[in-house]
Structure 1
Amino acid sequence: MDKLCQRNLSLWVGEYLPGLRRYFACRAHPADVDDLVQEVFAHLYWHLGRSGVEVKNPRNYIYTVAKNLLVSHSRYQKARCRAYHDSLSSDFDIPDMITPERTVIGIQDCRCVFKAILGLPPRARTAFKFHRFEGMTYQDIAERMEISKESVKELIQRALIKVRRALEEAS
């Protein structure tokens, strides 16, 4: 990006930043306003740096990009069902503090899980350990154990069911 483009971009940020914030503040969730403004200027930076095309009317261009981003953002939020999500407030209290009783319960649960894992059939135990403790993908496990990916999936699902049952029985 040449010096003229950088200078123009700096001027436009200074000139259009407050207006873009107001534009998005009326149309988007308050937590998303700064991200959307940043996306507009990132798009402008990319456009100026890559295309080399001169923007003759920056105000129209910037607000057209803003409108398009808002449409895309709205579609994305609708797909994620954002309206059904609750945001955490800053005065969020942790209801359960760590107590000696909770520590003992946690240790007992860990022992129960380890006992259940050790009680798994060898192939299921191996697949489970590869996946949960070594972070291997199903494909990597399948190649290492020389079995199909579907077999790995079944082994891990059975292992999870047995571990879950063991925890439920202990409770």
Structure 2
Amino acid sequence: MAVPRPDQDLEAWMHAYGPGLRRYFRRRVNDGDVDDLVQDVFLRLQAAEFGTPVENVEGYLFTTARNVLISRYRKQARSSAVLQAAWADGVEEADQLSPERIAIGQEEYRRVVAAIVNLPPRARQAFELHRFEHLTYQAIAQRMGITKDSVKELMHRALVRIAEEMEAEL
């Protein structure tokens, strides 16, 4: 069989080598990009000007496919670098830990601990079991000998009371 020339029989090449190119790209990119890359290969092939017939069609196509991938990766790297630079320009530098920020954090911590300590005993027990020992409401209910709904109610009361105390001290 005579080797078709791309300018004369591009459709024959698409049918003969399209599935192989799809397999090649599926191993290297997302499935959504496969058809676009195969199309890029054949567009490059159509745009190429050949003086003589291509002797190793498969080798030529897969070399073109590799070059299409390289171009895609370079384009992605450029756009990623541009996005990172734009993001970096828009991000304000975080405040360093100043003595004032450390003092504010310590005071906030003291207030939270005091609010937890001031909870009614059963609400405090449920809160500590859930937040510090990471028990589920069901496990807390079994440990405290109450229902799961009672645990939910105790947790709700504890959270509301802590929030109220935190707001009151502002």
Q: TM-score, normalised by structure 1?
A: 0.49
Report the structure number with the largest CA radius of gyration.
2
